[in-house]
Each structure stands twice: as structure tokens, then as C-alpha cells.
Amino acid sequence: MVEYADICVGLAWGDEGKGKIVSHLTKHYDYVCRWNGGDNAGHTIYVNDKKYSTHLIPSGVFHGIKSIIGPGCVVNIKSFFNEIKYLKDNGFNTELIKISPKAHIVSDEHIYEDEEKYKNRIGTTARGIGPCYTDKYARKGNTVSDFREELKEYIWDEVLEGKILCEGAQGFWLDIDHGNYPYVTSSNTLPYSACSLGFPHQKIRKIYGAVKIYDTRVGIDPEFSDELDNNEELMKIAETGKEYGTTTGRLRKVNFLNINKLIQALYYSGTTDLIISKIDILEKINIFKYIYNNEICSFDSSELMIESIIKLINESNNYVSNILLSRSPKEI
């Protein structure tokens, strides 16, 4: 039986540092599980000062924890085995990795359709994720159970037990229902979708919400207009923060943190513990600004800016009880 489930969710457009948070927390859990998305996600973590990146496999494997790809995920078999090889080559125990037989399979046809129809129109990662979910909901897709022989070492026919950490992909503003449609991902990114892994919502204990001190976005979205690309301060933030997508390698669009959107994401997600990262980036270049009520607010120091952000969060209607600050790629 599941004792409790904690969930790590992104509060923006992805790339908020969820992998680092999950890596930091993993040792306290029996399972680390992915509940949505496929290899369109990108998680970067550090183990013994060495940097690793995965796209599909949960981060628990880096710390010797059982790592589950849930029924709400979609799996590209070739990408999966490439990650297995990558992990084996780096000395990690891949026997800990399991896939739900109900997860759907991304085919070559899905990837081709994504590249031809959607990449330039809505800026997808062209990994076949959207077309795969389309077939899933049209009830004509193939699942992992259809490939039992090929994936027999990794198929998970058990039930979750003990303490569970759920690792989200993408972020709140990419959610299929709450994002700026159609410039969204194809799955539900809100934490309550994690219950599809196999536990009731009453088992949810904490929701860790991740956000950077500035906003970033990969792909096409009118909310991140091309005008932002010519803003010298935002360009400086992007360069200093090395804002390139883990999955796509594309330069992320950058804007000042939108406090109104953050507050909305905190409320809808039910975040209990908020982690704000990359504060050190703004401190290196002495740019301390955020957006509130459509106005840019400027500050003389990171301390004054963070104090103001915390005040606005505390005055809003949400469930946040802890706010943690990160000034290092390796620490919280």
C-alpha cells in the first residue's frame, strides 16, 4: 500500500529545475515515477559533481531507487533503449527501471507526422508525442503490452508501495487544458494527474513547485513575442543562464518572471513547497525585475526583489507553506 505520495511539478513552461529537485529528494522514497509525457521532456541532474541528462527515464535510477514510467506516459522504444545504454555505460543499475504495460508506444509514423504537420506550426519537439496521444484517445494506439517480448525485462506488473515521489514533465503553462492552447503539450501536467500511477488523491502529502527567478519558454507562443529577442537585458539573462533546451538544444525565449501567472499556477497546482532557482544568474548581471499586473517592477538587489515576491505570494490565496531559494546548479 502507498504510504504517501509527494509530487514535483513545474510552475511555468518547463525547464524549471524539476530534475535537480527530484534528485535532491530521491533518497527519502521507495519509488520515483513519471506520470506524463515522453522523451520530449529533458531533466538535468548532478551526481557526485557530474552532470547527467535524461528525457524519459525517471531520475530515481541515479540514486539506486526504483524508477517507474507510468501508464500516462508515451514511450519511444528506440529512445528508451538509448537511455538504457547511456545509464549502463555510466554505471547505473537499469534493473530498477520499469514501464507500465498501459503506456502507449510512439511509432515512426507518429514522429513523421509531428515533423510534417506540427513542428513549424506550434513549435513541438517533433518527437511524435502529440500524434501518439491522438491515437491513444482515438483508441487505436499500441501500448507497451503489445511489445512484451521486446520490453520484457522492463515491464512493470506490480503495484506501488511505500513512499512515492512523482516527477512531472513540462510545466503548468504547457498543460493541455490550462496552457495557451494550441501552444501546449499533449498531456496533463498538473500534479493531480499523478494519481494515474495508481494511488488515490488522499495519499498526496506535499506538492513541490519549481520555478526560475525569470521565465523561459522553448517553442512557439505568442505570449513570448519576437520583440523579447531584441531586449538587451533579457538577452543577457539568456546568455548568462545558458538557456538552451535539454531536449531540443534550442535557445529558450526569456522574459521577466510574471508574478500573476506564478500565483495562478501556485493556486491551481496546490503547491505546498515552492523552490525558486537561478537567483545567482540575476545576481551576476545585476538585473532584478519582474512583471506584476502587466508592469515591469525593478529592484536594487535580489534581496529586495525576493522579499517583494514572497510578500505577494503570501498575500495571495494559495497553499504554500515553505519557500526555498536556489543559487547554485547543484544545491537547493
Q: Are 75 and 99 in contact (CB under 8 A)?
A: yes
Tell me the C-alpha distance between 297 and 288, whole Å: 8
175 a catalytic residue: no
Q: Which among 15, 135, 215, 221 is annotated as catalytic?
A: 15
Query: What angle is formed at CA 280 by the lines to CA 278 and CA 286, rounded to 5 degrees?
Result: 120
How many Cβ atoms are within 10 Å of 163's Cβ, its own excluded? 15
Q: Note if 43 is an active site residue.
A: yes
Q: Is 147 exposed, middle or buried (0-12, 13-18, 19+ CB in 10 A)?
A: middle
Q: DSSP for 92-131, please give it.
A: --GGGEEE-TTSEEPPHHHHHHIIIIIHHHH---SSSHHH
Which of 24, 39, 43, 175 is catalytic? The answer is: 43
Distances (CA, A) of 144 to 72, 100, 148, 189, 272: 12, 7, 7, 22, 34
Q: Which of 203, 213, 216, 119 is nearest to 166 (CA)?
A: 203
CB atoms within 10 A of CB 48: 5
Please identify every residue annotated as catalytic. 15, 43
